[in-house]
Amino acid sequence: MIENAFDYVTEHSDHPKEECGVVGIFAPDDHVARMAYFSLFALQHRGQEAAGIAVSDGKRINIHKGVGLVSQVFNPDNLNQLYGDYCIGHTRYSTTGSSTAHNAQPYLIETFYGPIAVAHNGNLVNAEEIRKELLQHGVGFSSTSDTEVITMLLAGAQGDTWEERIHEVMPKLRGAYSMVILTLDGVFAIRDPWGFRPLSVGLLPSGGHAVASESGALHTIGCTAVREVHPGEIISLSNSALKVFQSVAPKENLALCTFEHIYFSRPDSIWDGLLVHQVRTRLGEELYRQKPIDADVVIPVPDSSIPAAIGYSKISGIPYNVGFIKNRYIGRTFIEPTDSLRKQGIKLKFNVIEQNVCDKRVVMIDDSIVRGNTTGALVKLVREAGAKEIHLRITCPPIAHPCYMGVDMGTYKELIAHNMTIDQIREHTGSDSLEFLTVENMMQAIGKKSGYCNACFTGQYPLDVNHVHIKAGFELQHTV
């Protein structure tokens, strides 16, 4: 049963679900918690289930976290309780572990070496194996997240410094992790040797440093000299200045997530040295080059498809216009709609500007089709608005395989492209034609021939994965 508009939007989305956003800050004599708050606000698109901030004043670590949006979890009163020079923050979409309060991050524990807090973006493919080993050694767990597994590994690591302990743990982790770690006197940022998930570091105007999942979040708080954390690096933010240590050698075949360009990242972010907005524009250009078509108007499904529609229009000469008005707030309401409103379905979130599509041959640009639930409803809205033809164009290849690296795309059973041919999907959506960008043309738009993970399109994973993994796997183990 769909209980409210939020459930409708999240359960019926044709887009991959967001990952997570992390931030770490060292800013002496500044209000680091407020800086983290605004950084997380800039990363809100990466996760809307929970948020948290942990701050160290050199003597103890204080933390506040909860379920909900950043603006719902924090207020001036609880932010004022978080004081110190070092902090980390997290905004969460669950990929391992369900959306419950005990899975909210950062994780904070006491260790023999003092307290540590950890916030993680990504997903480990060997988390279950590590967890079982730790359980056999008497380690207890309070949550069902792979981030807690990493935290417990760090707590039991050997070494005289936290750099040495982190260095010992990193080779044991297989999968995606862009992570920030808070100790009493420092913040550490680490990134897996495959480079799956983004992480950037920048210089603050005050002379401190900050790291975040996207460069746009760093610019929000005034950072300059921004660069990406390299795969396999440990970066230390402390009074002894920024220290960089190559802990694990980067993999020969890197596996950066293509979907950062297609959908996840803000358009003003830099990913793999490329401006995301420009890549999305080129994706639209390649779509037209791949299969030209005569039409009267190009419309995007907002928001991530807007640059692609602009690119498609530019190359084709077909006029660009706004087709959909998106209600950006309906997905965050917790007021239950009436039965009659619920039946309106997608109309709660999108309205069509009829004058822009009526009696026209429409090219409708979207970034992806995952489960196939909302795309057909959007096509129907445009058809009801009077469009003569609707030609659906997708800026990536068909998603036929699940992601095990930190993106909730669904299981094989849920993925429409795994269960239908392209022509069957076209019929299912009700469009007059349907074209997905090929892997080759997608990579042409990115400007790279290798170094990216395209497993959700090809089924060729960059490392061995457990194909029965689901994000609630640890919970199911508890109930067996």
Q: Active-site residue numbers?
A: 20
Please give the backbone phi and psi of residue 157, each rounded to the nearest 5 degrees, phi first.
Answer: -75, 155
Cα–Cα distance for residue pair 183/155, rounded to 1 Å: 11
Angle formed at CA 425 by CA 420 and CA 429, multiple of 5 degrees: 145
- Cβ atoms 234, 199 nearer than 8 A: no
Among the listed residues 233, 187, 185, the one whose alpha carbon sits nearest the alpha carbon of residue 88 = 187
130: helix, strand or coil: helix
Cα–Cα distance for residue pair 329/348, rounded to 1 Å: 10
The residue to which tokens 């933390």 are assigned: 63
- Cβ atoms 351, 325 nearer than 8 A: yes
Would you give the DSSP letter of residue 340?
A: H
Q: Which residues contact 268 (CB under 8 A, 6 or more apart)?
A: 215, 216, 219, 275, 276, 277
Would you give the DSSP letter of residue 416?
A: H
- Cβ atoms 356, 328 nearer than 8 A: no
Q: Which residues contact 160 (CB under 8 A, 6 or more apart)?
A: none
Whats the size of the chain, residue-wise? 480
- How large is the angle between the packed helices 306-316 and 276-290, nearest 10 degrees? 50
- Cβ atoms 196, 406 nearer than 8 A: yes
Cα–Cα distance for residue pair 52/68, rounded to 1 Å: 10
DSSP 101-160: GGG-S-EEE--TT--EEEEEEEEETTHHHHHHHHHHTT---SSS-HHHHHHHHHHT---S
Cα–Cα distance for residue pair 113/257, rounded to 1 Å: 35
Cα–Cα distance for residue pair 83/55, rounded to 1 Å: 6
Q: Which residues contact 136 (CB under 8 A, 6 or more apart)?
A: none
- Cβ atoms 437, 396 nearer than 8 A: yes
Among the listed residues 199, 218, 140, 128, the one whose alpha carbon sits nearest the alpha carbon of residue 466 = 128
- Cβ atoms 363, 312 nearer than 8 A: yes
Cα–Cα distance for residue pair 245/249, rounded to 1 Å: 11
